[in-house]
């Protein structure tokens, strides 16, 4: 059995986002992501083979999805489900305070 506090040991500044796996099973992974001003590189789009559900627990960020006219600003409590292969990018994360995300990665079950 594992336990802890999602807000424990939150760094104030980071050179890169911090990813911490909290739990995982055969087709699901739950992680805490801490961002301190990070964004996707210019022109880069994530194109993941799995569905991702994310919620901002503290701080704020902006996500852009391919085909949408404007980026979406997410603040504490806001969540979004990102279907597999929906191209998206992080436009910005709050540079004045840490943004803490909870991400649930849902992989297709193995066939066989």
**pLDDT tens for each residue of 2-13:** 899 999 999 989
Q: What is the mean pLDDT of the chain?
A: 95
Q: Which domain holds residue 64?
A: 18-106
Q: Rounded to an integer, what distance in angstroms lies between the CA atom of residue 3 and that of residue 10?
A: 16
Q: What is the pLDDT at residue 110? A: 67
* 49 exposure class (CB count in 10 Å sphere: 0-12, 13-18, 19+): exposed
Q: How confident is the model at residue 111 (pLDDT cuts 50, 70, 90)?
A: low
Helix (H) or strand (E) holding 105: strand 99-106
Cβ(28)–Cβ(59) below 8 Å = no
What tens digit of pLDDT does each residue of 37-77 get? 999 999 999 999 999 999 999 999 999 999 999 999 999 99
Total number of domains constituting the chain: 1
CATH number for 48: 2.60.120.10
Residue 5 is assigned to a structural domain of this protein: no
pLDDT above 90 coverage of the chain, percent: 92
Residue 10 domain-assigned (yes or no)? no
């Amino acid at each position: 059995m594992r336990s802890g506090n999602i807000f424990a040991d939150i760094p104030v500044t980071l050179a890169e986002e911090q990813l911490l796996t909290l739990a995982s099973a055969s087709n699901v992974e739950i992680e805490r992501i801490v961002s301190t001003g990070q964004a996707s590189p210019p022109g880069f789009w994530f194109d993941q083979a799995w569905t991702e559900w994310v919620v901002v627990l503290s701080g704020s960020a902006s996500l852009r999805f391919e085909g949408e006219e404007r980026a979406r600003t997410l603040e504490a409590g806001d969540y979004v489900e990102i279907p597999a292969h929906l191209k998206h990018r992080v436009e910005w994360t709050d540079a004045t305070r840490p943004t803490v995300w909870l991400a649930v990665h849902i992989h297709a079950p193995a066939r066989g």
